[in-house]
Amino acid sequence: MANVSMRVGSTALDNTHEESRTSGINYGLLPYSNDRDALAHVLWQLTYEEYRKAAKAYLNVKTENAVRTEAEDTSPDFSQQESQNHIAGSAPGFQLDQKAWEERVRRYSGYFSKFPEVYSSMVILLAQKTQVSFVASDGSRVVTPESVVRLMIQAETRADDGMELMRVETFQAAAPERLPGEAEISAKIQKMAGDLKALRAAPLATPFDGPALLSGRASAVFFHEVLGHRLEGHRQRGDEEGQTFTKKVNEQVLPQFLSVMDDPTQRTLNGMDLSGWYQYDDEGMPAQRVEVIKDGVLKNFLMSRMPIRGFEKSNGHGRSQPGLMPTGRQGNLIITSSQTVKDSELRQKLID
């Protein structure tokens, strides 16, 4: 796969300005073999197509910029930063015994046959090794290997009233041997089946307005969705963004006992591989630990190379999907509290 990014104009104003941001990138598939001529042909074709798109978009940007009222945030469209040179080795060479894992996955899937209330189930093992190469006209050359092994388990049932019910568990690691053992997987499958059986008999949830406790993955998803995304730099700029925290820098946005940082440089936590770990982002910038909220006070945003007022540089959080421009994204969002109590005490505080 190849992303070709092209900017026509200047760092102050280019073809990616505001709603024209999608004009900055072209995406295509590369030949599977290492044929230099074939690779060069595809890359030149993608570059040529992207230049035509970017040049046309830049003309439109200049026209619109001349007639529209001045934006509240007049930051440049791109930050000038020091070029990077980092050439790592080839992709990690973990060995996957395919036959042994096929047998193991079948065994895992077979565990569900003990539970007649489970109507369908699925166990998938995904293992991939990737080498990401970043080359830019400012002289940057970055090559980083990545690897991931992901075990996904899904089970479904249906309540008497026809409602479909599902449970999913996912385990991820950098190598197959770092995945949980069979005893832990068996226990998790039994728990999934028990949850589905209980859900089938459970009454319909009714609307509720009142205090609640979030724990486990629910609390993680809450912070990721409700807080984390709103701290991404690009969301502070543009008429279509919510700009929840744009004007709250150095103001208290959380209780004083809570702090928030995003640290893509942290590879493990309590022996578990963290999926948000990376060395360089998708704009060739080194990953950085960023203290976003300190003692409840907003201090920073997660920045790509799209500047915003008061934050002119990337802090290594420019991430993207194939075919999309990089934007400020979360890596490992970590919430810490200076005040902690046991779960039983917390529940009693809720009741009180």
What proportion of the chain, given as a percentage, has pLDDT over 70?
Answer: 99
| pLDDT tens digits for range 318-332 | 999 989 999 999 999
| pLDDT tens digits for range 142-172 | 999 888 999 999 999 999 999 999 999 999 9
Position 70 scores a pLDDT of 81
Position 91 scores a pLDDT of 59
Position 92 scores a pLDDT of 59
Position 242 scores a pLDDT of 83
Asked if pLDDT for residue 110 goes beyond 70, the answer is yes
CA-based end-to-end distance of the chain: 56
Closest C-alpha to 148, from 131, 127, 166: 127
CB 308 within 8 A of CB 235: no
Average pLDDT, the chain: 94
What are the structural domains of the chain? 2-70 (no CATH), 98-201 (3.30.2290.10), 216-344 (no CATH)
Q: Tell me, what amino acid is at 306?
A: M
Torsions phi, psi for 7 (to 5 deg) = -120, 125
Torsions phi, psi for 19 (to 5 deg) = -75, -5
CB 167 within 8 A of CB 155: yes
In the numeric block, which tokens belong to residue 252? Answer: 């208290």
CB atoms within 10 A of CB 105: 16
pLDDT-derived band at 253, boundaries 50, 70, 90: very high
Closest C-alpha to 331, from 230, 231, 263: 263
Name the percent of the chain in helix, strand, coil, to the closest 5.
30, 25, 45
Q: Which of 79-83, 87-91, 114-118, 235-239 is predicted least confidently?
A: 87-91
In angstroms, the CA 346 to CA 213 distance is 9
In the numeric block, which tokens belong to residue 141? Answer: 């050359």
Position 256 scores a pLDDT of 97
In the numeric block, which tokens belong to residue 20? Answer: 């024209």
Position 93 scores a pLDDT of 65
Position 90 scores a pLDDT of 64
- Average pLDDT of the residues in 255-280: 94
273 vs 286, residue with greater confidence: 286
Position 168 scores a pLDDT of 96
Position 68 scores a pLDDT of 82
Position 252 scores a pLDDT of 98
Asked if pLDDT for residue 89 goes beyond 80, the answer is no
Asked if pLDDT for residue 307 goes beyond 90, the answer is yes
CB 51 within 8 A of CB 6: yes
Residues 104-113: contacts with CB under 8 Å, at least 24 apart: 104/182, 107/182, 108/153, 108/182, 108/185, 108/186, 108/189, 111/186, 111/189, 111/190, 112/155, 112/189, 112/193
Q: What pTM was computed for the model?
A: 0.90
Position 271 scores a pLDDT of 86
Q: What is the DSSP letter of 228?
A: I
Q: Tell me, what amino acid is at 229?
A: H
Give the count of alpha carbons within 13 A of 119, CB side only.
Answer: 11
